[in-house]
Chains A and B, each alone.
Chain A
Amino acid sequence: MATMTLYPDDERLPRGERIVFNLYLISAVALFVLMMLLGLVMRMAQGEWLSLGPDMFYKILSMHGAGMVGTMGMVTMAVMWFFLRKYVRLHLWAFLANYVLFLLGALCIIGAIFLGNYGALWTFLYPLPVHAMGLWTPNAAAVFMLGYLLIGVGALLFYLDAAAGIIKVHGNLGRALGVQWLFGGDIDPNHPKAVVASTMVIIANSLGILAGAVVLVMCLVNIYVPQMPLNALLAKNLIYWFGHMYINATIYMAVIAVYELLPRYTGKPYPISRPFVWSWSASCLFVIIVFPHHLLMDYAEPRWMSVMGQIVSYGAGFPVFLVTAYGALTNIYRSGMRWSMPSRLMILSMFGWAAGIVPAIIDGTISVNRVMHNTQWVPGHFHFYLLLGVLPMTLALMYHVVGSRRQAPPDSGADRIGLPVYLLGGLVFTLAFLDAGHLSVARRMATHLPEWIPTDHAGAIGAALIILGMLYFAIRISAGLLRAPADAGRTHAAG
């Protein structure tokens, strides 16, 4: 069971771990601000507040997509690492290797885009990267994919190290996930939720990375040996198996922060239960097979896969979300919650997750998807749950760690202003996307029709507010993390 002490001793970070952990978090908040700025530039360009050529727009869109997904993956792995290391032995070298490979991969991606002019988006859908129409070279596409491979290898090392630690303590991944308690038996109340969630992510995301490793190398072969034509539909399935799992896994890693921190701020235990075990096991299976909901528009996709995509879409996110949201609400109810930045951000994340998956489930319905899939409804959905769901979970941990340095959760006046600015911006920004989807505004378009522009303006204003809030968070968190623990003794547990 998660501890009830706000800053427990077993979360203390030795010097080496603290340096690497800080590198993850500070890099992440800096990258988030930069990627958000790119997003603002695109929304302003679509709204004709900024002049931007289509070639530059697609380069920025590629950078924004790959950068956000990668950064979200990196920072949520740091969340998983921070808590999982209390229960199983994790090696610092694996955590550091993941970071270094992420940076090398990011450099490849940045080089491919801004030096090589790659603009085939983060999804590198075959055969677009090799049909550049003279805009970029095959080498640029190859370097972009090499960047993904490096990031994937880093993630695989991290997950394998985590799997080794979990298996050493729990015997195998099935037991760590809690499948032995699905149909009976006394659930061990001390079985950590962090282990259950981490195990689910290890299983699902390793599969995705394997699919990515296959399709990325095949695309690389195709770039240099075009006589080897790939089956575009198979390639797309594998790309979305990889891509969907990678980004979806971020929320399952980030939510560990809620499981671990919420009871400390409410002062009420948040024990593991059979529904909890069921929901994580079900979601583990569903997350692996839900990816066809990205291919509902592909008429050549086998019908059974599309049907599976729709049905599983309803089930994939719901179990874990319901159990988490219900659990969180009952945990908060009459708890005398200690309101501060970490707890506020956790509550915001529950709202963002709840509201963010609704448009996803609607869009996962085949009859709706036929109309909505290529509209801004889809970016509306994923920006909602990433901006207001996943990111607040990670920010909650960051604020918590900053607070641990002085034994008090941060809650300054500036924090209390920064959060509403971020929330307001997030709502305006995401609702502008969803409204645009409702109005059938096409997504991924560099130039917009005059009728679409009001939603672009609203989106740009929302984006500016988000950046304002995020910039404050980034400075506040970086300064807090860089502050050396006042003493290395027991009082600075997480420091």
Chain B
Amino acid sequence: MNGAEKRRLVSALVIVVLASLPPVRRALQSSMTAQMLIDIPLLGACGWLLAMAVPDGLGRALARWDSGGISGLLLASFTGLLWMLPRALDAAVEVPWVALAKLASVPLLIGLPLGLSWPRMGFVVRGVFLAELVATCFRLGWLYLISPVRLCSNFLLDDQQRLGEWLLVIGAAIFLYLAGKLLWGSFGGRGRGEAPQGP
């Protein structure tokens, strides 16, 4: 493991430890918005950092099981599905072992596989993933805005609706970025006979 990989590993562990401290946890789980837009993405980013710290040899060994990044994408997607359930968000606040499961699963089963698989994904797989990400932001945002009842018993309706608005904004921002990149951006691999990276 080289110096950069060590730094990423240490950074990821420090963030996870900090995020698991009770005052920080309380703050990150104080609202549905914070939990979905800060807590979970932060833990996922730790996993991505871990992926960047994986030694080359291990990465190559894993690649054999992750053709085109599909296995990692599926693992991350199914784990992500679980943490999109309001019931799971509630349980993460109320039940200590579920909170622990979240602290472990989001970095290790979402961020890490995504970080490892992303470079292996081709344009089409990335495109499908990003299109679905944008669509999911819009769908969830719309759902949270129209739901007449609280979906999580720990969070209030106005918090849920605020999250809905943020998800619409985030979906629109990702979409605009992708549109700009596709229309005017530059992609690696042009003219070298390689598949374009991205979007």
- What residues on B are CB-neighbors of A190 within 8 Å? none
Contact: A173 with B146, CB < 8 Å? no
Contact: B184 with A172, CB < 8 Å? yes
B175 closest partner in A (C-beta): A210
B124 closest partner in A (C-beta): A160
Complex Cα–Cα for A107 and B158 (A):
43
- What residues on B are CB-neighbors of A230 within 8 Å? 142, 146
Contact: A156 with B147, CB < 8 Å? no
- What residues on B are CB-neighbors of A231 within 8 Å? 146
Contact: B123 with A167, CB < 8 Å? yes
Name the distance in Å between B197's Cβ and chain A's nearest Cβ.
10
Contact: A164 with B124, CB < 8 Å? yes
The 4 closest A-B pairs by CB, nearest first: A164-B123, A160-B127, A174-B183, A160-B124
Total count of chain B residues near the partner, CB < 8 A: 30
Contact: B135 with A164, CB < 8 Å? no
Contact: B135 with A173, CB < 8 Å? no
Contact: A214 with B142, CB < 8 Å? yes
Which residues of A63-93 are within 8 A (CB) of B?
none
Q: How many A-B residue pairs have C-beta atoms within 8 angstroms? Tell me.
A: 80
Scoring B122, B146, B148, B187 by chain A CB atoms within 10 A of each residue's CB, the highest score goes to: B146
Which residues of A168-213 are within 8 A (CB) of B?
168-169, 171-174, 203, 206, 210, 213
- What residues on B are CB-neighbors of A161 within 8 Å? 123-124
A54 on interface, CB distance cutoff 8 Å: no
Complex Cα–Cα for A172 and B187 (A):
7
B61 on interface, CB distance cutoff 8 Å: no
Contact: A227 with B148, CB < 8 Å? yes
Name the distance in Å between B148's Cβ and chain A's nearest Cβ.
7
Q: A156-B131, A160-B128, A218-B142 are in contact. Are A168 and B196 (CB under 8 A)?
A: yes
- What residues on A are CB-neighbors of B146 within 8 Å? 228-231
C-beta contact mask, B175-186 vs A, less than 8 Å → 1, else 0? 100000111111
- What residues on B are CB-neighbors of A322 within 8 Å? none
Which residues of B137-156 are within 8 A (CB) of A?
138-139, 142-143, 146-149
Q: Give the contacting residue for B139; candidates A156, A171, A214; CB below 8 A.
A: A214
- What residues on B are CB-neighbors of A160 within 8 Å? 123-124, 127-128
B189 closest partner in A (C-beta): A168
Complex Cα–Cα for A210 and B134 (A):
8
A163 on interface, CB distance cutoff 8 Å: yes
A307 on interface, CB distance cutoff 8 Å: no
- What residues on A are CB-neighbors of B190 within 8 Å? 167-169, 171
C-beta contact mask, A137-175 vs B, less than 8 Å → 1, else 0? 000000000000000010011001101100111011110
Name the distance in Å between B142's Cβ and chain A's nearest Cβ.
6
Name the distance in Å between B179's Cβ and chain A's nearest Cβ.
8
